[in-house]
Chains A and B, each alone.
Chain A
Amino acid sequence: MSILAQEMSDSNRILTISLFMVMVLVTIFITIQGGRKTSTATDFHSGGRGFSAWQNGFAVAGDYVSAASFLGIAGTIALYGYDGFLYSIGFLVAWLVALLLVAESLRNSGRFTVADALSYRMKQRPVRTAASIATLSISIFYLLAQMVGTGALVTLLLGIKEGETFLGMDAGAAKVVGIVVTGLLMVAYVAFGGMKGTTWVQIFQACVKIGLAFVLAILVLVHYNFNLSALLGDAASVSGQGAAFLEPGLRYGTEVAGDSLQTLWNKLDLISLGLALVLGTAGLPHVLIRFYTTPDGKTARKSVNWAIGLIGMFYLLTLVLGFGAAAMVGKDAIIAENPAGNSAAPQLSQVIGENIAGSTGGAIMLALIASAAFAAILSVVAGLIIACSSSLAHDLYNGVFKHGKASGKQEVVFAKFAAVGVGAIAVVIAVFAQDLNVAFLVALAFAVAASANLPTLLFSLFWKRFNTAGAVAGIYGGLISSIGLVIFSPTFSGTETSLLGEGVDIAWFPLSNPGLVSIPLGLICAVVGTLMSSESHPDRFASMQVRAFTGAGAERASVH
């Protein structure tokens, strides 16, 4: 039976809601403080470039560790054991690409957006348009995945089941309220706080979510006397899977008895996912633009050290939380609450709290972890909104339509309206799409980032011959192939769990994750496009590389 719903009394919900409110008030206060000095374009897009390495490192962690990481990975581990671990490893190792190849060079050669670095030595308008479309696609896919999840998550965290009401809301109404409130907050952070306010909000939220995950993981370990082997043993025996629970194969790359072709596709799908995860991070615009908030390339690079430490520690904690939930809550109780396993960490927190201080302890721990999950949602969606609004204002409005002639002030005003517009659209789509299975959008965002952004970004930094045609072909090639392949994959149609359900079947591409095909395709398009054009600007390449590696001529922090 479900622990959460049974014991979730109205007073517990009020405790959770109160903690949500405290966090909301704190973040709004931070936003207003941070936003007071936001006047120029540099302030709005890049927070005045005054953030230190640890500050940006925490903000990057806030930007990156989503509710999908917080609840999703713990849940996948709780239900499928070992396989849940694969996601966290891909998400972490990916940071080496960002650290070794991208962070410092990008900070030194761009100003506000990914398109700045990409179009540095190219024809501005075609490259900016393409790069902006890629940025918007990636960010909006990721945003929709978060927003649709938000509705379900808020009802889950408040423990409102079908047929129950709380403050006059049934589960359906609570979902819509959850989406709308999240939408209002993310737009408020960005429109009023700009990058500076958003960064401080993300730093605060990173502390909340990583700190609480740390506390919960320590309590699990204390329960097992820090004996990891005993924890794993319990998890395996409670799961009913025995040793198989601690081995790969329950979730990804499953072997279908008697169907060797499907087994082959499943395994290739796993490899495809692994590739997109490890190559996608260094192409995610909302993460990349954070590097511009530091005073110089060296600080941007050092902020990645902080981010890797925080994110790595966080994923180690999810391992403990996931196996802890498997052992102490149990698969049946988790599935009864949420079939996808997202409730595993909150349920675990309740059990742990009850062990310590009875039902009050359970309610307090649950409310704390629910707030941490809410912080994870808010900080990620705010980062996505600022990536969208910066790209719309700086790349499309100013770069493409105004030929770079708009003033900084006009750009900021446009960016604020863009934030409101994108936020409103995301809320409306999320409300209508809340019953669809959109979890695949996260993997799709990573696939587009790995196929369209990363190859072109690396070529523009390191390949002298690379030119406009190559950049445009690479971006569109990677973008269209990843989206196209997903449309014709089983994620989109043809099976029970597809977006369109079983009724429609246009699936001919056997993998759910397009990366294995779309990453090489994006790369080939970029190379072929380059070789088919004779355009070349050796001087611009020379100055870009010197800037990238020495930081000469880069904009420093603005002094207020």
Chain B
Amino acid sequence: MTTTPEDNGPPTEVSDADIAAMHDDPRFVELKRTLFRFTVPVLLAALAWYLVYVLLSAYARDFMGIVLFGNINLGLVLGLSQFVVTFYVTWAYNRFTERKFDRQSAELRDDIMNGGGR
């Protein structure tokens, strides 16, 4: 059998008001700032790089066709760079959350769950 409370009931024994109260806590404001300072610029940069790639594929075909070595041209290398960027951002975000975000966020969660969120 399951130990979750009722299927349609509140998930855990903490009131919405307790949770909401944390919103104005300076530590929560700081948590959000830490998170957004990482995610927003990083995501915008990655998406911009993707958009540049799509635009180059549409409008700069001679440029994309420049051969770098053998049969490898710039278009292929820029395409592969999208993989590199995606993998790198994933790795960097994982490092960021492990070093900073998870600890701060867990601290606030424990506070709320122990009734100290006010």
Contact = CB atoms under 8 A, between A and B. Distances in A.
7 contacts: A90-B50, A92-B83, A99-B93, A228-B72, A247-B65, A542-B19, A545-B23
Contacts of B73: 243, 246-247
A539 B19 CA distance: 9
A248 B64 contact: yes
Interface in B40-58: 42-43, 46-47, 50-51, 53-55, 57-58
Given A228-B72, A246-B75, A547-B19, 16 more contacts: A40-B2, A82-B75, A85-B79, A92-B83, A100-B43, A236-B71, A270-B58, A271-B54, A301-B97, A305-B90, A546-B19, A546-B20, A551-B109, A552-B109, A553-B16, A558-B2
Contact of A41 (B1, B7, B58, B65): B7
Interface string A35-51: 00001111100001000
Interface in A50-108: 82, 85-86, 89-90, 92-93, 95-97, 99-101
Given A246-B73, A546-B28, A93 B86 contact: yes
A337 interface: no
Nearest to A551: B109
A230 B28 CA distance: 55
B58 A552 contact: no
Interface of B: 1-4, 6-8, 10-12, 14, 16-17, 19-24, 28, 31-32, 35, 39, 42-43, 46-47, 50-51, 53-55, 57-59, 61, 64-65, 67, 69-73, 75-76, 79, 82-83, 85-87, 89-90, 93-94, 97, 102, 105-106, 108-109, 112-113, 117
Interface residues of A, number: 75
Interface of A: 39-43, 48, 82, 85-86, 89-90, 92-93, 95-97, 99-101, 111, 228-230, 232-233, 236, 243-244, 246-249, 252-253, 267, 270-271, 274, 278, 298, 301-302, 304-305, 308-309, 312, 315-316, 398, 404-408, 411, 539-543, 545-547, 549-556, 558-560
Nearest to B55: A271
A551 B71 CA distance: 50
B7 A42 contact: yes
Contacts of A247: 61, 64-65, 73, 75
Given A100-B43, A305-B94, A558-B4, A248 B61 contact: yes
Contact of A243 (B39, B65, B87): B65
A101 B1 CA distance: 34
Contacts of A101: 39, 43
A544 to B, nearest CB: 9
A83 B2 CA distance: 50
Contacts of B97: 298, 301
A552 B108 contact: yes
A543 B20 contact: yes
8 shortest interchain CB distances as A-B pairs? A408-B7, A229-B70, A542-B23, A543-B20, A274-B54, A542-B20, A248-B57, A555-B11
